[in-house]
Amino acid sequence: MATSGIPAEAKAIKSQRKTRTALLYRDSRGMAHTCSEGSLFGVGNPLLDIAVNTDSEYLKKYELEANNAILAEKKHEPMYKEMADMEGVEYLAGGATQNSMRVAQWILRKKHCATFMGSVGKDDFSKTLEQKAEEAGVKVKYQKQDDHPTGTCAVVITKNGACRSLVANLAAANHFSKSHLDVPENKALMEKAKFYYISGFFLTVSPETIQTIGKHACEHNKVFSMNLSAPFLCEFYKEPMMAAFPYIDILFSNETEAAKFSEVQGFGLTDIREIALKAASLPKENKKRSRIVVFTQGADNIILAKDGKVKEFPVVRLPEEKLIDTNGAGDAFVGGFLSQLVQGRDVADCIKCGIWAATEIIQRSGCTFPPDLHYKN
């Protein structure tokens, strides 16, 4: 009978709808966008942040600078115990790339769109990190070390949250090896992704891993993005940074890092717009994609360079009393940007969401966010 095929057809249609529902979500306007599981892949240094609000005298004590990031030296070792005993100390899931993955997931809402890998110890700190990541919806695949504790980062907050100084003790994070990507399950997760993000801090750990991911992205015309992350990386890790540079499709940086990059590379440029254009024009392996350079400048305009042109985007200026903690603002911007990128949005929409995410997060302590707050594009 003609009707005998109807149940099978209805079943097929139902199956197709189920599949589409799994891959799509609707934004505030009811418009559907793709958000596939595992589409975003990040590798970096998972760290547990130890954050305190203090004064400039504490910075002087340990020869630190406001709004800077360094690796811990011998003289900084007492800080961690000292800060842990301070009144109001907070422990937060940290590490630049992991922060960006958490923020992207917060905005995307669909669980496990983002995958993160990094190295931790077999201790309570790593359990806390994994719990925080999973709560945010990030799929974590840590490489666990027997002989090294989970890394920590001292976050010294001054000027009522307007300035922060980061001192990272990488510990286990410093021992990530490319072999972790060779595990079949992990390799499958890496190859499944379409978008990759690695903070510049990972240059100190495993340039080989960066090269592997960058080459994979290039060969398969996927999007590979990195961040300059800190001035000292531009200067002291110039060789691995420039080895990775030809694979970079999207480069993030703030104005201080961009200035140091220009100096170290011998550009002879001080204008942030010109530096962005020069960085965008550096040699690139994947000729199918133009390099995009995005420079943030705190409360000043965001600079976008692409195809020999520069655009500026104003940020939201908050009154000083609303600034709680600028730690994580850059990570939040990247997370917001990536959350739109994986949905196929244009760069202007990506920057808009990045600004929104950073603005929300600097009104809270650490790289944290209100779970019930939704991004409205």
- The pLDDT, as a whole number, for residue 264 is 98
- Dmax over Cα atoms in the chain, in whole Å? 87
Q: Are 108 and 350 in contact (CB under 8 A)?
A: no
pLDDT at 92: 83
Instruction: List beta partners, residue 195.
Output: 40, 223
Three-class DSSP category at 128: helix
Give the DSSP letter string of 139-176. Answer: EE-PEEESSSPPEEEEEEEEGGGTEEEEEEE-GGGGG-
Catalytic site positions: 331
Give the pLDDT band (50/70/90) at residue 34. Answer: low
* Residue 116: per-residue pLDDT: 97
Instruction: Decide if pLDDT at 371 tops 70.
Output: yes
For 175-186, what is each residue's pLDDT tens digit? 999 999 999 999
The predicted pLDDT at position 370 comes to 82
pLDDT of 356 above 80: yes
Are 121 and 144 in contact by the 8 Å Cβ rule? The answer is: yes
* pLDDT for position 327: 72
Backbone angles phi, psi at 68, to 5 degrees: -140, 165
Residue 12 has pLDDT above 50, yes or no: no
- Specify the pLDDT at position 201: 96
Which tokens is 141 given? 């695949």
pLDDT digits (tens, 9 = 90+) for 199-223: 999 999 999 999 999 999 999 999 9
Condensed to tens digits (0 to 9), the pLDDT of residues 109-162 reads: 899 999 999 999 999 889 988 988 888 999 999 999 999 999 999 999 887 767
- Grade residue 22 by pLDDT with cuts at 50, 70 and 90: very low
Give the SS3 label for residue 193.
coil
Give the pLDDT mean for 346-367. 93
Which one has a higher pLDDT value, 35 or 272? 272
CA distances from 59 to 3, 64, 76, 327 (A): 79, 5, 11, 16
Q: How far apart are CA 37 and CA 22, in angstroms?
A: 9
Tell me the two tokens of residue 84.
């842990």
pLDDT interval class at 167 (50, 70, 90): very high
Token pair of 365 as six digits:
């302590």
pLDDT band, very low/low/confident/very high, at 255 (cuts 50, 70, 90): very high
Cβ(249)–Cβ(218) under 8 Å?
no
Are 68 and 76 spatial neighbours (Cβ–Cβ below 8 Å)?
Answer: no
**Can you give the pTM of this predicted structure?**
0.86
Tens-place pLDDT, residues 236-249: 999 999 999 999 99
Q: Is 289 exposed, middle or buried (0-12, 13-18, 19+ CB in 10 A)?
A: middle
Number of CB atoms found within 10 A of residue 33's CB: 16
In angstroms, the CA 316 to CA 136 distance is 25
Quick one: pLDDT at residue 159? 79
Q: What tens digit of pLDDT does each residue of 49-87 get? A: 898 999 999 999 999 998 888 999 999 999 999 998 999
**pLDDT (0 to 100) of residue 326:** 76
Whole-number Å distance between alpha carbons of 183 and 166: 33
Q: Are 48 and 173 in contact (CB under 8 A)?
A: no
pLDDT, tens digit (0-9, with 9 covering 90-100), for 93-119: 889 999 999 999 999 989 999 999 999
pLDDT for 321: 83
What are the φ and ψ backbone dihedral angles of 93, each rounded to 5 degrees? -65, 130
Burial of 283 (0-12, 13-18, 19+ CB in 10 A): exposed
| Predicted confidence (pLDDT) per residue in 256-281, tens digit | 999 999 999 999 999 999 999 999 99
DSSP one-letter string for 25-76: EE-TTS-EEE--TT-EEEE---EEEEEEE--HHHHHHTT--TTEEEE--GGG
Distances (CA, A) of 315 to 227, 250, 352, 358: 19, 20, 9, 10
Residues 329-343 have pLDDT tens digits of: 999 999 999 999 999
At 5 the pLDDT is 39
Task: Give the type of residue at 2.
Answer: A
d(CA 46, CA 170): 8
- Please determine, for residue 16, whether its predicted confidence score (pLDDT) is greater than 80: no
Contact 304, 313 (CB under 8 A): yes
Residues 6+ apart with CB under 8 A from 78: none
Q: What is the mean pLDDT of the chain?
A: 89
Residue 168 has pLDDT above 80, yes or no: yes
Which domains does the chain show, CATH number per domain? 33-45+94-149+173-361 (3.40.1190.20)
